[in-house]
Amino acid sequence: MSVDGIAFVYRQLGPEDGVPLILLIHLAGNLDNWDPRVVDGLAARRRVITFGNRGVGGSGGATPDTIEGMARDAVRFIRTLGFDQVDVFGLSLGGFIAQVIAEEEPRLVRKVILAGTGPAGGPGIDKVPALAVQGTIKGALTRQDPKLSLFFTDTASGRRAGRALLRRLKERTDNRDKDISLPSLRAQLKAVKRWGRQAPSDLSAIRQPVLVANGENDRMVPSQNTLDLATRLPRSELVPLYPDSGHGGIFQNHEDFVARALSFLES
Amino acid sequence: MSVDGIAFVYRQLGPEDGVPLILLIHLAGNLDNWDPRVVDGLAARRRVITFGNRGVGGSGGATPDTIEGMARDAVRFIRTLGFDQVDVFGLSLGGFIAQVIAEEEPRLVRKVILAGTGPAGGPGIDKVPALAVQGTIKGALTRQDPKLSLFFTDTASGRRAGRALLRRLKERTDNRDKDISLPSLRAQLKAVKRWGRQAPSDLSAIRQPVLVANGENDRMVPSQNTLDLATRLPRSELVPLYPDSGHGGIFQNHEDFVARALSFLES
């Protein structure tokens, strides 16, 4: 689809009516980084749209190096699809973007789901780029997918859950999205660092109902950020932090998460 | 073997007499990063010793963050083995170390082979850490071994040679070396950057015969560094730069390289 002359890739699943749920993926992620159990689970009852933001995966243009710029692009994408009310669900970097969209577009956004994410200026968020780079290098040295160490706990069940997710992410064999480019990733890393170093945001400006979820051992966006969101957002609902789970907690516990997300969206 | 109370891993191949050839591996490399065709080819006629320097792979201790420190550790290792005369063969980072050893230990070192390397302060060398990190991240995003883009040209024969090397590096199945740790890699990256930013070294202080080799398209340690070594080293012999080859040129052209190295060592 063309947004201001730039081609955006997206996928639409589920029923063709109802308030659409717009999914915002994590750092370095493309359309294929969403756990199919989560997307299909949500799409069983909701219209679900995953998309590549500007410069990400198969989407054209240059990725902005601020969360605010990414939020503006996402809003343009949503409006170009013709929607005047949506729900947004952001994971990690996607959750930063979702917060900005919710605050800046109170009429466009009905409900919000935030997973593995935190507020601007949240503790440890400016370290996410360094952790991601380190994890990637360590993964290369040990010939292991970096997601295993970055998204999952280093326990028997964490490792099992990580390997299971890696298998699920390979289930789609046709029409896969393009990998993110190095310049786009660099812009994202810069944006994340800035978000982490920003003055703490006034979360009371987000008036929508927000469901907040994460693993209790998130070493990327430390889990205390999730608790901080739940505390400071005026209309929040906290999914009890998933035990023995990290940044990928909603994937590791997809059945529980999908059930809670659907009931939140439909309540 | 214990060097000053620290366990060093090493492998010895080939005849048990003659001047031993000490191999110094590249950034992030361990014992298993030597092309078996090169090591076995040399060991067919020379006593060959590969080892893990301090903190690298299975060797204990903390990796120093200077080339000079690494050279001192290598000399201690060589002396602990009981040798008072050796040949040294350094690839990339190993070539930096080999230059320092040759200069500082004129009586210990008989002949030197330098591949894919350059003098202190050589153009582009301070960019090696950034290129290595970028290549590793790009490799993770595209699920490709970073060595393919960092060591080989992006041509049909370069890609074929890269895949062939990756297969050869997997030939050994028993008693493989440990992967390098992140702190050791970080120290190496720092040392390489420093070497690249150092004042140009006075290569006339290296009096030994030196064989210099590389691909003509080395994008890690730019090939002009190889030509500069050949020009400024008083007793150098240049292997004509290998066409359509990069940083891994001596692996890509292992037959030719091994033959030339043996004849250089035996002349």
CB contact under 8 A, B182 and A141: yes
**Taking CA atoms, what residue in A is nearest to B144?**
A140
- Give the pLDDT confidence score for residue B258 in this predicted structure: 98
Give A145→chain B minimum CA distance, Å. 8
Contact B48, B42 (CB under 8 A): yes
Q: Report DSSP state, residue A62.
A: P
B239 min Cα distance to partner chain A (Å): 31
CB within 8 Å: A182 and B138: yes
Per-residue model confidence (pLDDT) at position A63: 98
B133–chain A nearest CA distance, Å: 7
In the numeric block, the tokens 């689809």 are attached to A1
Q: At what angle do helices B182-197 and B93-104 cross, to 10 degrees?
A: 60
Cβ B133–A133 below 8 Å, yes or no? yes
Question: Is the CB of A182 less than 8 angstroms away from the CB of B134?
Answer: yes
- Residue-wise pLDDT for A93-147, tens only, equals 999 999 999 999 999 999 999 999 999 999 999 999 999 999 999 998 888 999 9
Cβ within 8 Å, pair A182-B140: no
The neighbouring-strand residues paired with B48 are B13, B21
Residue A156, number of CB atoms within 10 A of its CB: 9
Band (pLDDT 50/70/90 cuts) for residue B143 is confident
DSSP labels, A189-250: HHHHHHHHHSPPP-GGG--S-EEEE-BTT-TTTTTHHHHHHHHHSTTEEEPPPBTT--TTHH
ipTM of the complex as predicted: 0.77
pLDDT at B4 over 90: no
Strand order in the sheet with A10-13: A10-13, A48-51, A21-24, A86-91, A109-115, A210-213, A236-238
What CA–CA distance (Å, rounded) separates A62 from A48? Answer: 25
Residue in B169, B186, B170 with CA at minimum distance from that of residue B55 = B186
Rounded CA gap, A231 and B118, in Å? 57
B28 touches chain A (CB under 8 A): yes
Burial B20-48 (b: 16+ CB within 10 A, else e): bbbbbbbbbbbbbbbbbbbbbbbbebbbb
- Domains for chain B: give ranges and CATH numbers: 2-266 (3.40.50.1820)
Residue B170, min C-alpha distance to chain A (Å): 12
The answer, for A136 touching chain B at a CB cutoff of 8 Å, is: yes
Which residues of chain A are within 8 Å of residue B138 when distances are taken between CB atoms? 182
Tokens at residue A189, please? Answer: 């890393």
For the entire predicted model, the pTM comes to: 0.87
Residue B1: pLDDT over 90: no
pLDDT of residue A150: 97
- In DSSP notation, chain B reads -EETTEE--EEEES-SSSS-EEEE--TT--GGGS-HHHHHHHHTTS-EEEE--TTSTT--SPPPSSHHHHHHHHHHHHHHTT-S-EEEEEETHHHHHHHHHHHH-TTTEEEEEEES---TT-TTGGGHHHHHHHHHHHHHHHTS-HHHHHHS-SSHHHHHHHHHHHHHHT---SSPPPPPPHHHHHHHHHHHHHHHHSPPP-GGG--S-EEEE-BTT-TTTTTHHHHHHHHHSTTEEEPPPBTT--TTHHHHTHHHHHHHHHHHHH-
A-interface mutation test, from B136, B145, B169, most A Cβ less than 10 A away: B136
pLDDT 10s digits, B76-123: 999 999 999 999 999 999 999 999 999 999 999 999 999 999 999 999
Per-residue pLDDT of chain A (267 residues; tens, 9 = 90+): 899 899 999 999 999 999 999 999 999 999 999 999 999 999 999 999 999 999 999 999 999 999 999 999 999 999 999 999 999 999 999 999 999 999 999 999 999 999 999 999 999 999 999 999 999 999 988 889 999 999 999 999 999 999 999 999 999 999 999 999 999 999 999 999 999 999 998 999 999 999 999 999 999 999 999 999 999 999 999 999 999 999 999 999 999 999 999 999 999
- Residues of chain B with C-beta less than 8 angstroms from the C-beta of A182: 134, 137-138, 141
8 A C-beta contact, residue A169 and residue A40 = no
